[in-house]
Amino acid sequence: MSYWDTSCLVKVYTPEPDSLLFRNHLRTSLRCVTSDITPLEFWSTVRRKESEGILAPGEAAKVQAALDGDISAGLIKVVISDGHVRSRFRLFVDRC
């Protein structure tokens, strides 16, 4: 299992440096886990890319739909970030 934050997932669905590496890793990963806030941050990022001309008009909705589809298909597991998850996350980071 590996945790993927928004910046990692943006690389999978939009053209960025190392996008191919991230796409391949996601497809071969046993389990990808992310936070419930990731789809919201993802939407903000792809809309910004669209407004800056990095993505074509209407492309933000398409890549958001692709992310949502992979979540629905179980390729990406979304974990609800309640208080327990937040405290465990902090402990985990401190240990690393």
Give dist(CA 70, CA 90) in Å, integer.
27
Taking each helix axis from N to C end, the angle separating 6-13 and 19-28, rounded to the nearest 10 degrees, works out to: 100
Of the candidates 53, 42, 50, 57, the one whose C-alpha atom is nearest the C-alpha of residue 11 is 42
Question: Full-prediction pTM beyond 0.85?
Answer: no
Measured CA angle at 9 (ends 28, 71), to 5 deg: 75
Q: Is 48 helix (H, G, I), strand (E, B) or coil?
A: helix
**Per-residue model confidence as pLDDT tens digits over 2-57:** 889 999 999 999 999 899 998 888 888 767 899 999 999 999 999 999 999 999 99
Domains belonging to the chain, first-starting first, are 2-95 (3.40.50.1010)
